[in-house]
Structure 1
Amino acid sequence: MTALPPFQDVLESKAEKDSPLATTLTLLFESSPILYSDLLPGVATYIASAPSKPASYGELIDATLVVASKWDPTLKASFIAGHPRIGEVSGLSRLSKKEQAARATPPEVLARLTHLNACYEHRYPGLRYITFVNGRSRAEIKDEMEGVLGLEHSLSPDQPPVETVGSVEAGSEEWTKELERAVGDLGKIAHSRLKALGAA
């Protein structure tokens, strides 16, 4: 079982790739290039300069979201892209695998999710669909994604055609609202992982 480093070690970490802080952020938010290039040094600076340091892993998650909230939209989009797409089955971290696979997923649901991911990424250029799964099955998330996209419930692997879904402009109000929702869900996922790791 993967365990978080001792919290005091995390607080005393430097912004290095093999530090306890890096290990903690990777477990809670998924490994990604932006985690190491921007999030890790940003959180380390926040911890060093904050009037009161985070007193728990939960407060560290909240501090991480404060750091990310100050980023421009491009960085935020890269941050959410560190999470796997809903329905991916290979290359998942142990925690992602556990979160997404509450129950065995029929292949037709996986195929539908692949199509819905493509539709979503056409609708919201540069974004990836992120949601707090919270124990729900992939079939339930399929229904949620269809609702977000305004599509009929279906198991079609290719309908409607991606290009008919419509697209919003990156940086527009709708796009930005969806980006901020996704970042918020990353926080919910991180808090849920904390609980799963027995450190809440």
Structure 2
Amino acid sequence: MGDLPALEAIQQPSHSTLQSPLGVALEVLFERSPILVSLLEPQLKQVLQSSPPLASYAELIDVALSEIAKWDLNAQSEFISGHPRIGEVKNLSKLSASEQGVNPTPPEVLKRLEHLNACYEVVYPGLRYITFVNGRTRAAIAEEMERALGFVHSINWSEPPLESMVAKEFGSREWITELNRAIGDVGRIAKSRIGILGVS
């Protein structure tokens, strides 16, 4: 994954999709996702053409999150699914790999995270657990996920059993609260990335 293109470049008219400077910036900030191409990039092009020039990448992130907030729930759900699951170790972007920790993770923690991800995705159908890792270990994130799901901490990676999970209704108040939290953390991750890349 390359560095962000010049801020001025993303505000120039372009008819290409993800290879445009704006598309590249969105991929770096938010992770590659089909909805970036099909929905977010075209919307942002229109907004940028009718607005004063952006002063920073942080402002671009805020404008993007404002547009995402207007989407229907299915589109918002698809957007956050562009981020890798916590604990995934393959096919990660360079930034995702560095954010999830450079130190080796014990196999039992990876198995625990895999189980917790599966439980979360049953409880919150259509969502994926997103959190701003901010240098924490995967073991710490596993404990955070347990708390979020109301689980008692367990050293047994497969507890509680997946079949005991009860789904929240898609679009329910609890589901929307969790969706909004996840989108907020995607924004925090994106703003952290501009700092890592040395731009503002």
TMscore range, shorter length: over 0.9
TM value normalised by structure 2: 0.96
Give the Cα–Cα distance (whole angstroms) in 2 for the partners of residues 82 and 132 of structure 1: 15
Unpaired runs of 5+ residues, structure 2, are none
Name the count of aligned residue pairs: 199
Give the Cα–Cα distance (whole angstroms) in 1 for the partners of residues 25 and 55 of structure 2: 15
Unpaired runs of 5+ residues, structure 1, are none
CA-based RMSD of the aligned residues comes to 1.2
Deviation at 1:102, TM superposition (A): 4.4
* 2:164 is the counterpart of 1:180: no
Per the alignment, residue 23 of structure 1 pairs with: 24
Please, which moves more after superposition, 31-40 or 159-168? Answer: 159-168
**Contact 1:81-1:128 within 8 A present in 2 as well:** yes
* 2:148 is the counterpart of 1:143: no
Per the alignment, residue 119 of structure 1 pairs with: 119
Cα deviation digits, residues 44-85 of structure 1 (max 9, x gap): 1111122x2321111011111011010001000000000000
Per the alignment, residue 83 of structure 1 pairs with: 83
Per the alignment, residue 33 of structure 1 pairs with: 34
**Contact 1:46-1:67 within 8 A present in 2 as well:** no
For residue 177 of structure 1, give the secondary structure of its aligned residue in structure 2: helix
Deviation at 1:164, TM superposition (A): 1.2
Cα deviation digits, residues 23-62 of structure 1 (max 9, x gap): 0000000001111111111111111122x23211110111
Per the alignment, residue 158 of structure 2 pairs with: 158
For residue 54 of structure 1, give the secondary structure of its aligned residue in structure 2: coil
For residue 18 of structure 2, give the secondary structure of its aligned residue in structure 1: coil
Letter of the 2:27 partner, please give it: T
Give the Cα–Cα distance (whole angstroms) in 2 for the partners of residues 179 and 53 of structure 1: 30
TM value normalised by structure 1: 0.96
* 2:72 is the counterpart of 1:69: no
Letter of the 1:23 partner, please give it: V
For residue 135 of structure 1, give the secondary structure of its aligned residue in structure 2: coil
Letter of the 1:94 partner, please give it: K
